[in-house]
Amino acid sequence: MQSTMKELDPILEVENLSASTDNLPILKGVSLTVYPGEIHAIMGRNGCGKSTLSKIIAGHPSYNITNGDIKFLGENINSLEPEERAQSGIFLGFQYPIEIPGVSNLEFLRVSTNARRKFLNKEELDTFDFEELVKEKLELVKMNHAFLSRSVNQGFSGGEKKRNEILQMALLEPKIAILDETDSGLDIDALRIVASGIKKISNAQTGIILITHYQRLLDEIEPNYVHVMSDGQIIKTGESDLALELEKKGYEWTDNFIKEN
């Protein structure tokens, strides 16, 4: 499987990336390449830089890239605005999806979808056409239509917020989706719904990066590669059995690995 993927051009290349916020270095030389059809998992202790990496790829304005490059479909995107990255096909599923009181979920989804469609030279959808599209996508995450008339994420349970993230992913049809702890706060049933949604959306042309602490999401979605991060660096990369080993031995095992190297 690996060799087939690597015959294609990579979707995402993170090359020796260092970044800081408020002059505090967070990432210290991260390299990662994702090819079409690949699923990567990034694991690591809290504060090791996993979420920061995802935000920097999505273009969060609070972080400065101090060294290295991010390339998306071969183009350097270091200086692109977050909306330009999203329109071109980068999706970040938030660990803590933001509530936006007063903005209807339906309108938010429609404006987002049309921004992406415009980039893809597809016809923008009016409210009626969009309702048809969104109905179909709601099925993927088993969400009730009533969620659309509420404000974005306001009053949603943890599980509903995460399902709303996957609904957005389904509508935006990204080239690469970075899902930051999408499994946190989910019960077993919700986890299965979310995992099933992700599997249905992903295909041989897309890449996925799953940021997680737990094996349980990886039981549902098997990654091609597992990366372990510590102190702003990827310290070990392996295949799916690395996650199992990590689950068994804990992060102390990776501490030993750092000492050895």
Partner 1 sequence: MEIIEKIKTNKSIDNETEIQKICLNKLQSSPLPNPKSEQWRLSNKSKFSNFLDYSINEKDPKFDTPFPNTSQGTIRLVIGNNCQINLIGENYSIQQLSQDELDKYIKEQISCFDQDENWSNLLNLSLSNTKNILGLKINGSKIPSIEIFSHSSSNALSAKTLVIFLEKNCDVELLQVNLGKENSSLSQSTYFCLDENSCVNHGVVSYGENRSNLLNSLNVIQQKNSEYNLGSVHFKFNYARFEISIKQSEGNAKTNIKGMQITKKDEQISTYTKIEFNGPNGFLDQINKSLADDESHAIFEGTIIVPKIAQKTNASQLSRNLLLSNHAQIDTKPQLEIIADDVKCKHGATISQLNEDELFYMRSRGITLPEASKLQLSSYFQEIISFIPVSKDRWDLLDKLLNEK
Which positions from 170 through 209 interact with partner 1, judged by CB under 8 A? 172
* Nearest-angstrom CA–CA distance, 126 and 94: 27
Nearer to partner 1, 101 or 250 (CB): 101
Among residues 130 and 225, whose Cβ is nearest to partner 1? Answer: 130
Q: What is the DSSP string of 2-39?
A: HHHHHTSPPSEEEEEEEEEETTEEEEEEEEEEE-TT-E
Task: Compute how many other C-beta atoms are within 10 angstroms of the C-beta atom of residue 235.
Answer: 16
Q: How far is the CB of 77 from partner 1 (least distance, A)?
A: 13
Backbone angles phi, psi at 208, to 5 degrees: -135, 135
Residue with smaller CB distance to partner 1, 66 or 151: 151
CB-side exposure of 129: number of CA atoms within 13 Å? 7
Taking CB under 8 A as the criterion, the residue among 56, 86, 138, 141 binding partner 1 is: 86
Whether the Cβ atoms of residue 27 and residue 53 lie closer than 8 Å to each other: yes
| CB atoms closer than 10 angstroms to residue 251 | 16
Q: How far is the CB of 100 from partner 1 (least distance, A)?
A: 5
Interface characters, 89-128, with partner 1 (x: CB under 8 A): --xx-x--xx-xxxx---xx--xx--xx--x---------
Nearest CA-CA partner of 63 in 33, 26, 94: 26
Binding-residue total with partner 1 (CB under 8 A): 30
Residue 161 CB, shortest distance to partner 1, in Å, is 11
What is the residue type of 261?
N
**Contact in structure between 186 and 158 (CB atoms under 8 Å):** yes
Closest CB 58 distance from partner 1, rounded Å: 5
CB 244, min distance to partner 1, A: 32
Task: Say whether 175 sits in a helix, a strand or coil.
Answer: coil
Q: State the minimum distance, in angstroms, from the CB of residue 120 to partner 1.
A: 11
Q: How many helices (H) and strands (E) does the chain have?
A: 10, 12
Site for partner 1 in 3-32 (CB under 8 A): none
CB of 96 to partner 1, least distance (A): 9
Positions 23 through 82 that interact with partner 1 (CB under 8 A): 58-62, 81-82
Cα torsion 153, 154, 157, 158: sign: positive
Structure tokens at 230: 């510590």
* Residue 235 in tokens: 């310290």
Per-residue binding letters, 148-177, with partner 1 (x by CB under 8 A): ---x----------------x---x-----
87 binds partner 1 (CB under 8 A): yes
Contact residues for partner 1, defined by CB under 8 A? 58-62, 81-83, 85-87, 91-92, 94, 97-98, 100-103, 107-108, 111-112, 115-116, 119, 151, 168, 172
